[in-house]
A and B are shown apart, each in its own frame.
Chain A
Amino acid sequence: MPQFDPEISRMVVVEEDQAQISACLQRLMADSGASYSMVIDRAGQILASESDEVRPEMVHLGALIANTYASTQEMARILKEDGFKTLFQEGMKEKIFTETVRGRWLLVVIFDKQSQVGMVKVLARRSSAVLANILDLVERRSTEVNSPRFRQVGKATIDTIDLLFKDDGCSDDE
């Protein structure tokens, strides 16, 4: 099963990367008629998303899909398979197709009955290949980025952590 590179403790996505990923997702949506697409990492964090409308529930969906995918990789291991490369969920209104990108990221496409499953699968596979090249570069560059800016953000974040995570919390119910 592909794993995270332990030497890379972070992935840094800059504007140029984001633009390339978004362009790929937009093309996929336009060609397939899908309503939503996103790229998530294996931790379920959204790297980029494109949508016809704002869908805040996608944070939870990302977590569920990433963990479901990780779970299927464990199934594959038990069955002595190399891995399962896709996931597919079919609902009455919407369908979700997930394709792995290099086994390290996931391309998620949400579509309705206007789109054909076969078409979505073919186009997602093609997009996955394009995204793989982009994300390989992003990953390689992430090891080289050592910006003092991030250290500054880290220092300020620690102050925020102290403020927000007080011993009794700070519920707005009080």
Chain B
Amino acid sequence: MALINVAAREIHGKIVYYGPGLSGKTTNLQYIHSRIPSNTKGELLSIETETERTLFFDFLPIDLGKVHGFTIRFHLYTVPGQVLYERTRVAVLNGADGVVFVADASRDRLPDNLQSLRELAQNLTAQGKRFLDYPLVMQYNKMDLPQGLPTPVLDRYINTVKVPRFEASAITGKGVFETLRAISKLVVNKL
């Protein structure tokens, strides 16, 4: 739920990066954090396991500056991707204004992507959202790897709802900001 604080002249939105384990959700936030000016970002907070897998969430507050006298702030979150943490994903998804589904384009991860996407749809529906109207974009990550499935195949299996989708290699930054732009605009359009 976007928060418009007229008194404080602030608008807040929450964007969640969702997807199967090791698909590159945290890498997206790390790249964004490394590339935007320091005056527009807060500290990147990561709550991870001893093996540097996301345990709870990553959190990156971004400040877009003043627009018509309002300070625009986005809070970016990732969820833990491992199957075990399903209920934690529900908790982090609570109150999100938009979701980036980060799919791993590797051939052998297709079932994981589909399972994660089904779970996302169920969780949003359980929160009373209409999945088909919900601000959602997809990112096909790891497209630079040789075992990656071609985009038309990913479109056919993963993007059946035909939302905006972007090819990416989060580790090099390709497609990261394109994805962020798209979801940010969808969220703002819901104001």
Tell me the A residues contacting B by CB distance below 8 Å: 3-6, 8-15, 17-19, 41-45, 47-48, 59-60, 63-64, 66-67, 70-71, 73-74, 77-78, 149-154, 156-158, 160-162, 164-172
Contact = CB atoms under 8 A, between A and B. Distances in A.
Contact of B91 (A17, A74, A166): A74
A11 B40 contact: no
Nearest to B32: A169
A4 B128 CA distance: 8
B95 interface: yes
Nearest to B134: A6
**Main SS class of interface, B:** mixed
A113 to B, nearest CB: 27
Contacts of B57: 67
Interface residues of B, number: 59
A161 B96 contact: no
B184 interface: yes
A60 B59 contact: yes
Contacts of A48: 8
B185 A158 contact: yes
Nearest to A150: B191
B177 A165 contact: yes
B88 A74 contact: yes
A165 B40 CA distance: 11
Contact of B6 (A15, A66, A151): A15
Given A10-B2, A169-B36, A63 B91 contact: no
B40 A164 contact: yes
B7 A3 contact: no
